[in-house]
Amino acid sequence: MTPALRALRWPRTWLCAWLVFVAAVVVVSLLPARDLPPMPFDGVDKLEHLLAYAAMATGAVMIFASRRAHAGVALALVALGIALEFAQGAMTASRMADGADAVANALGVALGWGLGRTPVARGLLVVEAWLAEGPGGTGRRAS
């Protein structure tokens, strides 16, 4: 059986950071509109949705080890995006559910999940190697 998390130096730290980011997305999604900065142009919120969900999915492919785990997290993130849209419509007076936001969320998840098949999936391993070098490191791994 494949371990759930990648063989990282600090897997629980990365997992906790990812969970905090997911929680932050949930909180921001449910804030009243008056507590959010004004939109600089129409449609920018769709870009924000896409980027937030792409970041969550990319974080997942860097933390979780198996493609099965990646798929499970991707489905959970899509479900979260849909649930938050319903919650915006039901729980806030100044926000409304928007199907286009849910589509942007799902496209962001697909983008992040797709990065799991690229070198980006090893991003945290690279960061950890760089951090392990400490101050004065060359920025290159020893051969």
Res 2 pLDDT > 80: no
Of all residues in the chain, what percent carry a pLDDT higher than 70?
92
Does the structure show a pLDDT above 90 at 49?
A: yes
Instruction: Report DSSP state, residue 5.
Output: B
Distance CA 125, CA 62 (A): 8
Burial grade of 7 (CB within 10 A; 0-12, 13-18, 19 or more): exposed
Write down the pTM of the prediction.
0.87
Is the predicted pLDDT of residue 24 greater than 50, yes or no? yes
Dihedrals phi, psi of 5, to nearest 5 degrees: -105, 150
- In angstroms, the CA 41 to CA 20 distance is 28
Which among 53, 48, 50 has a CA at the least distance from the CA of 76?
A: 53
